[in-house]
Structures are given as C-alpha cells and as structure tokens.
Structure 1
Amino acid sequence: MRNGSISYAICFLVLVFGLSGCVTSNNNGDENVSDKPKIINESKTVDDFKVSINVKKSHKEPKIYATITYMGEESEKDIYHGGSVFFFNIYQQDGDFEFMESMTLPLLTTTLIQNEPLRVDLNGIERLKLESGTYKFEATANFSLDSEKVIESKIEIPVYKIEEID
C-alpha cells in the first residue's frame, strides 16, 4: 500500500511539473495575440551612453534615425568618430535585400551635451526603393573617447528595430 501511495505522488508531481512546462509567459503581463512579433523601438545603454533607433512609417518611405545621449556626470562629453556617429544597415528578413553603409571620411569631433539626444537621420532611403516586406533596420554608434587612441578606446553600440514595410 505504501508503494502505491508513493507511485501516485510521483505521477502527480510529474504531471504537475510537465503541464507547467507547457505554459509560456512574456513576464510583462501583455498578451501577444497575433502571429507577428512585437515591434518596439530598440534602445541600449552602455556606460554613460544611451543609443536608440527609430523607424517611422510614412506614406512614401520610412524615416529612420538614431539618437545618442550622454548621461554621465560631466555637463558635456567630446566623442571622436568618422563622418557620422552612426553606421546604418538594412536587412530584408523575408528576401535578399541588404544595405550596409560605410564610412571613409576623416576623424571628426562631436560634443554631446548631458541628457540631450543627438539625432542622426539616414538620408537617401528613397533611393533604395524598398519593396514590401519585413526589414531589420540597424544603427551602430561607432565612436571613441580618446582622439589620440581612437582604435584602442573605440566603443560600438548596435541597436535595431524590425519593421514591416508596405
């Protein structure tokens, strides 16, 4: 009789834990009722810098821009970078389109003001003639904090957003 009770208890525990493994949660209480993934603006904070990418749909072409915000203790911070603080890339998720921006301009200095975002737009997206589809829009902040040791003190902060284009 004792072995029977233990067997029932073990079966009950296996059943309870087995069923609880079938439940999924997204930890924020929001329910995603569609098949599509949630699409959000992506931001990332590294050290004293917050980087974000934004994709705004319009009736013609999307508008893509990235921001970098210095959140440190100083009132301003100089950063050193190529022609732009950001490299922009676009990858079609349901096709084979790729756009990868390159930078060949000389070293520039930008002064970031504490808690004031610096906005950089991706210009010329209309020339890319994006077809309908799902795209990963990526912006990588690429800068240095030391003009004498640019390579050694390089910081890269990538962010992305996935968006459907009609």
Structure 2
Amino acid sequence: MKKYKFLILFTVLILLSSAGCDEKGHTGAANKLTPKNNKVEVIKGDFIYRLVSEKREYRESEPVKIYAELEYTGEKEEIKISHGGSPFFFPISEKTRGVNIDYPMIQPLIYSTMVKGDPLRKEYAGSGSYSSEDDEDFIKFMKQIMNNDFPVGEYTVNGSADFSVITSENEEDMKLTGQIEFKVVPKK
C-alpha cells in the first residue's frame, strides 16, 4: 500500500512541476487553453455578424489580428443604419489575470449605408483604460493592450455589432453578439 501512495504522490509532483514556469519565468497557464473558436458567424434577420481572430495562437510581441464584419443579406439593394462611432465593439477578458478590457466608444450618431453583399468591416486596434491609482503592473499590462501588443495570456473577445435599421416607418434596434478565443504564448 505504501508503494502505491508513494507512486501516486510522485506522479502528482511530476504533473505539478510540469505546469510551472518556463525558462523566462512565464507560468504555464497560457499553454493550457486550447482556443475553441477563433471565428464565429451569427445570423439574425437580414444580417450576418462575423468576429474573427486570424489565429488561435500568437507569439509574444506578434500583432494580434482581430476583425468584425456586418453584412446585409435582405431583399433591398441597400439600407441605412445608425450607430455610435462604429457598430462594432471588442470588449476582451484575460483569463489568466482575471482582467476585463473595456472597449470605449465615442457616441456620435452616425448613419451608414449598407449595400447588400458588401460587408462593413472593422479591425481591432487596441483598447482599454487605466488610472494613476492603478498598480504599476496593471498599468503596464493595459498600455500593452492599448498598443495591440498582447502579453502572454488567455483571451476571450465578447464582440458585438450594435446598430439601428432605419426605415421610413421606424427604427429597429439590432444587436448581434459573438465570442472568440485566442492565446498569446512566450517567444521561443
């Protein structure tokens, strides 16, 4: 019986040590995530919303390429929509650190004409915020994100397209949401 306890304890210790730090001091946490979806497509009424990360895994200091598209597929050749600075939002959660990265948006009312089969597209270019009262590590992390230079970690993008369809009779509010994941791993 003692042999089995020792064998089990030894196996657990081996497994725990393999989940430790690499040679640069990064924890193995970012290596645990296998992103399920780096692309999502949501259909609602006459619209298709797409949220895409070009890769499931990026290397540290490699630009993260994310974009959103909104396509009109209805019967008319074109329609008019209204939205804030953009119909697209890219709020992100970093799972390793437990940090939510907001996606602030200017809020003027903008009108866009959508042509059937010709999607609107927006690329993610960084986001987030911090205050002078935040701790130094958080500020450093947020500055990297704001420059689209993601540190090692596991990320979930909770994207959306939020807009109103303008008709001669009324306005119909629309919101399409999708979620994708990606991770950033240490340079080799």
Q: Would you call these one fold, judging by a TM-score over 0.5?
A: yes
Deviation readout 1:92-119 (Å, 9 max, x if unpaired): 1222222111223310011111011211
Matched, 1:43 2:41: yes
CA RMSD of aligned residues (A): 2.4
Change (3 A) 1:37 1:135: closer
Separation in 1, partners of 2:165, 2:115 = 14
Deviation of residue 37 (structure 1)?
A: 5.4
Letter in 1 for 2:109: L
Amino acid at match of 1:110: S
1:80–1:143: 8 Å Cα contact kept in structure 2? yes
Q: Helix, strand or coil for the counterpart of 2:160?
A: strand
Note the alpha carbon deviations across 1:69-101, whole angstroms, 9 max, x for none: 000010111110000011111101222222111
Candidates 113, 132, 140, aligned match of 2:160: 140
Q: Deviations over 1:40-83 (max 9, x none)?
A: 41110000000011112465121111000000010111110000
Quick check: 1:92 aligned with 2:94?
A: yes
TM-score by length of 1: 0.69
State which of 94, 102, 105 in structure 1 corresponds to 2:104.
102
- What corresponds to 1:130 in structure 2? 150
Distance of 1:72 and 1:126 partners within structure 2: 36
Point out where structure 1 has 5 or more consecutive residues left out of the alignment: 1-33
Query: Structure 2: where are the runs of 5+ without partners?
Result: 1-31, 127-144
Aligned letter for 2:165? L
Instruction: Give the TM-score normalised by the residue count of structure 2.
Output: 0.62
In structure 1, distance between residues paired with 2:150 and 2:98 = 11
Q: Report the CA distance shift for 1:97/1:155 in structure 2 as closer, same or farther (over 3 A).
A: same
- Equivalenced residues, count: 131
**Equivalent position SS for 1:145:** strand
The partner residue of 1:63 within 62, 65, 68 is 65
Match runs of 1:10-29 below 5 Å: none
CA contact (8 A) 1:61 1:126 kept: no
- Report the AA paired with residue 66 of structure 1: A
